[in-house]
Amino acid sequence: VKTYELALIPGDGIGVDVTSAAMAVVETAAARHGFGINSQQFDWSCAHYLETGAMMPEDGIETLRRFDAILLGAVGWPQTVPDSVSLHGLLLPIRKAFTQYANIRPHRLLPGVQGPLKADAFDILCIRENTEGEYSGAGGRVHQGTLNEVATEVAIFTRAGVERILRFAFDQARSRRGHVTSVTKSNAQKHSMVFWDEMTRLVAQDYPDVTVDMMHIDAMAARMVMAPESLDVVVASNLFGDILTDLGAAIQGGLGFAASANICPDRSGPSMFEPVHGSAPDIAGKGIANPIAAIWSAAMMLDHLGETAAAQAILSAIEAATAKGIGTRPGSHSTDDITTAILAALKDNA
Ligand code: NAD
Ligand code: IPM
Ligand code: MN
């Protein structure tokens, strides 16, 4: 039987609860669909940092390289470790090292979930650039601590990096409703976003069957609330995509519903699957985190691995549970109740 090697990084806070829920679902799906999962867990986290002085060992990236996929919970515990240390010590280096340049984040309402909007028929696929842009780490501080202090954060956009994410988005549109919305801020930013717009026009020439519109991030934020049903594929830079996908999560009914896949499209390294949300210190340890985002992310992982029937079965099980009102409102059900309902639906269907 085909067996996949899976690296499991629960991380911090509710990351631990939601990855354990996702693993239970993945293992049940594997048993029912005739494949194996060989998982190895890594306790890389802020607690690990406090013990060892590092978020992951020096050879952490090399250790992950041999795996078929990585399932991650959440990283960050700002009460004890600054976010700039924890995220740059674990999550962000993995995305970069394995060229997981396409961060795919679907936004649609699950059955039974009442979102905050009147519109309920939207189906948005956000494609977020995941390796460069505003997250390049370039820049610095001069005259630190003086009245003349200056801090810069240099956003780096390469031709290769922008072109590949745009092509990825246009390819996704081809298998959906054939529409791409490219998001920039080229009215205020004079270099990178103007370049991104130019590349959008250039790449669009290769996709005459795909319609494209270009919007500024501010107008886009309003459109996602006012007319989300008018959107199909949305492509944006690293930071803009980060912000828009928490907004996407909100119109889905909350962070507990938003899944994500950090894809290395040429498969030169493993891809990583994780919910959009973070470690949620405000609810950590209470057993009330919604595991649906993590379980949906795990379904995206199985889809990426080629186990499309299992992935579809998990999505159907999530939908069967929410259709019954389980996990649809914050705090209405525990993490375990939601997981149990999804496992039961999975066993009914397959
Ligand atoms: P967050 O996503 O952790 O929480 C934001 C709000 O959403 C909180 O009120 C939280 O309770 C709620 N929420 C999040 N996930 C939920 C779930 N599954 N079920 C129910 N409610 C949920 O964002 P934050 O508070 O800004 O960040 C906390 C920490 O996580 C920080 O260290 C941050 O840097 C980190 N973070 C990590 C990731 C990641 O690892 N991918 C993503 C975002 C934030
Ligand atoms: C996300 C998170 C991360 C990001 C943070 C924690 C660095 O917000 O995955 O959306 O900005 O990419
Ligand atoms: Mn985010």
For the Cβ of 293 lying below 6 angstroms from any atom of ligand 1, the answer is yes
ipTM confidence: 0.99
* Residue 312, pLDDT score: 98
Amino acid (1-letter code) at residue 243: I
Nearest ligand 2 atom, CA 239: 11
Provide the CB-side half-sphere exposure for 65 (13 A, CA).
10
For the Cβ of 243 lying below 6 angstroms from any atom of ligand 2, the answer is no
User: What mean pLDDT comes out for the span 77-100?
Assistant: 98
CATH number of 116-251: 3.40.718.10
Contact by Cβ (8 Å): 287, 76: no
Query: Per residue in 26-54, pLDDT tens?
Result: 999 999 999 999 999 999 999 999 999 99
For 142, left (φ over 0), alpha (ψ -120 to 50), or beta? Answer: beta
Q: Domain map of the chain by residue range?
A: 1-101+260-350, 116-251
Kindly state the helix (H) or strand (E) to which residue 10 belongs, with its residue range. strand 3-11
Task: Measure the CA–CA gap between 347 and 29, rounded to whole angstroms.
Answer: 9
| Two structure tokens written together for 273 | 């699957």
CATH number of 1-101+260-350: 3.40.718.10
Nearest-CA neighbor of 135 among 94, 176, 104, 175?
A: 94
DSSP state, residue 6 = E
Question: Phi, psi at residue 188, to the nearest 5°?
Answer: -105, -35
Can 1-101+260-350 and 116-251 be said to share one CATH topology?
yes
Q: Which of 87, 245, 260 to mutate to test the pocket of ligand 2 (most atoms within 8 A of CB)?
A: 87
Question: Phi, psi at residue 147, to the nearest 5°?
Answer: -70, -15
User: What mean pLDDT comes out for the span 7-22?
Assistant: 98
Task: Measure the CA–CA gap between 261 and 5, rounded to whole angstroms.
Answer: 17
Task: Measure the CA–CA gap between 27 and 10, rounded to whole angstroms.
Answer: 16
| Two structure tokens written together for 223 | 């459109």
Query: Per residue in 253-283, pLDDT tens?
Result: 999 999 999 999 999 999 999 999 999 999 9
DSSP state, residue 56 = S
Read off the pLDDT band of 330 (50, 70, 90).
confident
For the Cβ of 85 lying below 6 angstroms from any atom of ligand 2, the answer is no
Nearest ligand 1 atom, CA 260: 41
Q: Which ranges constitute the DSSP H helices of the chain?
A: 14-33, 46-52, 60-65, 83-89, 91-97, 159-174, 192-204, 217-226, 238-251, 292-304, 308-323, 335-349
Nearest ligand 2 atom, CA 74: 6
| Two structure tokens written together for 278 | 């973070």
